[in-house]
Structure 1
């Protein structure tokens, strides 16, 4: 029994470390930015992907801001975790970088990669997010967007979350417990 537990712990840390190594290679501040809105190419591609979804049109038009994570990696074997880096856009300009971390325990096995976008309805919701460590409640959930399927959601406490899978064998739309950090870019 101890051997199985130790193997699970070893495997979790191996998956976690390898995903962090992959993610650590991407730093939004180091990439070429689109001169129009100051966004990195990876973030811009993710935004374009989400803008292709007709159901999100009103969110882009009405939201005060949104955080985009081009790639979030999630892995689990009894114990799981996810990590991603992205950028926050307000008034069509990138205002800073954001990071996402999540740890969970329970029945889970596999790994996946997905993109995520979080819309903030108004300035109060945006400020609440950028002022400090932000965490979704355990009840929070995201709408999983699949081709040909309607993506319907409403704001929950001023926030609407959508994910789009990039690949993998783990399915879970729960975002409860995700923690975020925001770092404002220095305007030169």
Structure 2
């Protein structure tokens, strides 16, 4: 049996507490800071992609995730925090996590927004213990002209996902397999 040094024990304990803090909403980001980031994200969407105003007007709720950080080297993961707004008023805070495995290397950051287009889709999201983005969601892709590709097909979808503001060294960003969990910031 090997002896564990005091330094190793402290390092393992610190790492474990850090991971636990990521999952339960404890951390340095408070509600005011998160709301400020959501305000900036919403303003960015409206200025860069004016078509999002129409989506916002039609949506019964919008989940803004201002900063998702994704990294991978064979095994990858992503994490971020955001706020659900109804009538542009924050009603809940959420974290999003995802994991992946496969050929990947690098890191990137991006933002995304989920537009809940029906009362049922929003109610299902809020009632779930941990909601996973599924096949009922459609992606709206911003083009270089600043328009949002929300055609008739996507506008009939119960949830419309928009990924934007990508920066980093991993090509593309996907929300498939992302799990959203209510948190207390």
Give the TM-score normalised by structure 1: 0.73
CA contact (8 A) 1:85 1:99 kept: yes
Q: After superposing the two structures, state which structure 1 stretch, 111-120 or 50-59, moved more.
A: 50-59
Unaligned runs of 5+ in 1: 1-12, 33-38
Unaligned runs of 5+ in 2: 1-14
How far the C-alpha of 1:109 sits from its partner, in A, is 1.0
In structure 2, do the counterparts of structure 1 residues 184 and 62 end up closer, same or farther at CA, with 3 Å as the change threshold?
farther
Q: Which residue of 1 aligns with 2:29?
A: 27
In structure 2, do the counterparts of structure 1 residues 156 and 99 end up closer, same or farther at CA, with 3 Å as the change threshold?
farther
Q: Which residue of 2 aligns with 1:81?
A: 77
- Largest Rg, 1 or 2: 2
In structure 2, do the counterparts of structure 1 residues 82 and 139 end up closer, same or farther at CA, with 3 Å as the change threshold?
farther
> Partners in 2 of 1:173 and 1:139 — Cα distance?
18
Give the TM-score normalised by structure 2: 0.74
Q: For 1:120-167, what per-residue CA distance to the aligned partner results, in whole angstroms no more than 9, with x for missing partners?
A: 002211111111211023796644536435430314740001111242
> Partners in 1 of 2:160 and 2:101 — Cα distance?
25
Q: How many corresponding residue pairs?
A: 159
**Which of structures 1 and 2 has the larger relative contact order (alpha carbons within 8 angstroms, sep 6+)?**
2
Alignment RMSD: 2.8
Q: Which residue of 2 aligns with 1:176?
A: 176
